[in-house]
Amino acid sequence: MSHSPRHSGGPAAKHPGVADKPFWRTKSLEEMSPEEWESLCDGCGRCCLIKLEDEDTGEVHHTDIGCTLLDGYGCRCRDYPRRQKKVPDCVRLTPEAVRTIPWLPPTCAYRLIRDGAPLYPWHPLVSGRAASVHEAGISVRGRLSGNEEEFTEEEYLDRIVEWPGLPPEA
């Protein structure tokens, strides 16, 4: 298995001129402003977990190990503006990347919008509260075994978990 790239990230904002529909329901990923794009990240931290790809099958396995820059409590990048300089294989999400990356979590707003699905009620854009993603048990808060510098690559195999790739329970 090889170490694969990873990513890095008020009330429902309305799109002016479209009667009471939030921007994510009226715009394509390509049409969003940088502020709208960034607001789609719910702060769960799932995409910032180390992933392993089976070189034979291409299957991606999530671990409970965070990127070196992942804050396990806040579930955000510790240096988002410079993340790609500090972590060269950090994946910058773009509309094109969102359409091709197979490992985006099933809870990811970028993936949901790509697939024409609604955002979950706990998403901060829907709930109006950043803490709702943690309260719903969606974020990595309390679920990390540590950050990548705390493990050898051989230990990564022992840290494979299913939950990051599963949709939330009803």
Cβ-Cβ contacts under 8 Å for 17 (sequence gap 6 or more)? none
Q: What is the mean pLDDT of the chain?
A: 89
pLDDT at 36 over 80: yes
Q: How far apart are CA 27 and CA 36, in angstroms?
A: 10
pLDDT at 19 over 80: no
What does R_g of the chain's alpha carbons equal in angstroms? 16
Q: Note the pTM of the prediction, 2 decimals.
A: 0.84
Domain that holds residue 42: 2-165
Whether 1 contacts 52, CB under 8 Å: yes
**What does the pLDDT read at residue 6?**
38
| Residue 170 within any structural domain of the chain | no
**What does the pLDDT read at residue 75?**
96
| DSSP-assigned letters across all residues of 80-95 | GGGHHHHSTTEEPP-H
pLDDT at 32 over 50: yes
| Residue 27 within any structural domain of the chain | yes
Tens of pLDDT, residues 58-102: 999 999 999 999 999 999 999 999 999 999 999 999 999 999 998
**What does the pLDDT read at residue 52?**
95
What is the pLDDT averaged over residues 135-155?
Answer: 96
Largest CA distance in the chain: 54
Helix (H) or strand (E) holding 160, with range, is strand 160-161
What's the domain count of the chain? 1
- Nearest of 76, 80, 71, 55 to residue 3 by alpha carbon: 55
